[in-house]
Amino acid sequence: MTGLLADKVAIVTGGTSGIGLATVERFVAEGAKVAIADIQDELGASIVERLGDSTLYVHTDVTDEAAIESLVAATVERFGKLDIMFNNAGAGGDPSSMLEVGSEGFDKTLALLTRSVLLGHKYAARQFQSQGTGGSIVSTASAAGIQGGWSAASYTVAKHAVVGVVRQAVAELAPLGIRSNAIAPGIIMTPIMARSFGVAMEEAEPFADFLAERLGSTQPIGRTGTADDIAKVATFLASDLADYVTGVTIPVDGGATAVTQGTFSTDVVAAAAEYNQR
């Protein structure tokens, strides 16, 4: 590692597993102090024990505005400032089709995937402004935030809205020296992804291996993605290397959204069903 984030303080929401955990580990390795925000308290405690004093775990339900405000305050109290906000927490949301979706499921999905990102911007930007510094905000969008057909209606709408938050942030926050960018992962095997296909948490890693073997060759780059593929791009966007980059959504999908998707969406569902029947 190169100390790319030396002397930086970051928050990573959804930081106890998957993309969030990979990013926490990479941020720490690059010299950052990191507040890990999640609702998986035992996992959070174990990660802090493993990574040491450069980390802090804060129980945070990102659908609760007061919890996000408290998260920022706890981070600053512990580490003295905030430089980076990674709005990453999420889940699959309401799986209903557009013909079946209801208000309750849709609202819960947007609260988790979109409103939390907007409020993460709000409280991080207020802290940056009070410090008299700029800062970097990174948010997890999705290939489903760029194209239709990757997921269910609620998730697709919510992730498209994340891209909108990032663009609006340029208009309002760029004059304050605050950058906002998003990452749009493609098929990245994480526990959340496994659950969305009905795979038990303890089977997430074997399922990822199965899916990589079965479907990697269908991707333009020849493999499925990993959580660390996303963490590396998050590290770049968080760092000073990206100090003239704001308002962009970077697909990290092996080229999938650059070409016609073909049958991959149905292939992955079929593969998951086959796996679960083993």
The residues assigned a catalytic role are 155
List beta partners, residue 34. 10, 55
User: Which distant-in-sequence residues (6+ apart) come within 8 Å of 42 by Cβ?
Assistant: none
- The phi and psi torsions of 9 (rounded to 5 degrees) equal -120, 130
Q: Which long-range contacts (CB under 8 A, 24 or more apart) does 254-260 make?
A: 254/186, 254/219, 254/220, 254/221, 254/222, 254/223, 254/224, 254/225, 255/219, 255/220, 255/221, 256/143, 256/186, 256/187, 256/219, 256/220, 257/143, 257/146, 257/147, 257/184, 257/186, 258/220, 259/220
Q: Any alpha helices (H) in 88-221, and if so which ranges?
A: 103-110, 116-131, 153-173, 191-196, 204-215
Please tell me the distance from the alpha carbon of residue 148 to that of residue 143, in angstroms, as a whole number: 8
Structural contact between residues 127 and 72, judged by C-beta atoms closer than 8 angstroms = yes
